[in-house]
Structure 1
Amino acid sequence: MSETNGNTVYDLMGGAPTIRRLVEAFYPKVQAHPLLGPLFPEDIHPVMDKQYLFLTQFFGGPQLYSDQYGHPMMRARHMPFLITRERADAWLGCMSEAMGEIGMPDDLKRFLLERLQGPAYHFINTPDED
C-alpha cells in the first residue's frame, strides 16, 4: 500500500472520523495495559485530544497539532517517561488491537503499523529491565 493519486494516508484511512474512532478505541487499551497505564493521567481526555491532533498531522491531514502546540518534538515530549522497547511494543500492540476493533482492513492496518514503528521505537530512552 502506498499513497496514490495525490491521496494522503489520512485520506486513505478515512480522515478525521477514522482517526477519532481509532483514538477512542486505543486509549482504553492503553489505560488497561500494565506497562502503559501507569504512564498516563487518570483523565485521559486531554491526551486523547492531543493524539487525535498528532495522528491527523502524522498521516498527512491538516497540521492540527503544530497549529495548536508548535512543532511536535515528540521524542523530547516523551523524555520524562521511561520508554523501553517493551513499552514501545505494548503501545504498538494496543494500536493494532484498536485498528482491528474499528474494522480497519488488514492491508491498511499493516501499513499504518509499519509507519508507526519508526516513532514508537525512536521514543525509546531506556533499556528494558531484566
Structure 2
Amino acid sequence: MIRFVCALLFLVTAANAVPPQIKYSESFMKVKSMRHRFGGRIVGGEEAEPNSIPFQISFQTTGDFHFCGGSVMDKDTVITAAHCCDSFNSWEVQVVAGEHDLFSTSGDEQKIPVKDTSPGRR
C-alpha cells in the first residue's frame, strides 16, 4: 500500500511539474519581450485626469494586450511609431480610445478594429 501511495504521489508531482504547452504567436512574443525590456513606468510623470487627452489611443492586440500608443489624426486615421505596426497583421490589432487604466474597465473604452496599416504614409 505504501508503494502505491508513493507511486501515486510521484505521478501527481511529476504531472504538475510539466508546464502546459501554450503556443503564442510570434507577434505576441515580440511585444511581450519589448514590454519586459523597456518596463512600464514613466519617470517623473503625473497621472492624467481620465478623458483629459481624448486624442490619445492604445494599440492593443485583439486579446486586449496593450503594446503601443498613438494619436487620432481624423475620424479614419491614427498615427503611431512605425515599429508598432511592423510585427502585426491589421486583423490582429485594435485601437482603443477612452482607455485610462489598462488594468480596469471604466465603460468609457471604445474598441475599433484596425482596417489597414500603412507604414510611412504621409
Fold in common (TM above 0.5): no
Bigger relative contact order, structure 1 or 2, given CA contacts below 8 A and separation 6+? 1
Structure with the bigger percentage of strand: 2
Structure with the bigger percentage of helix: 1
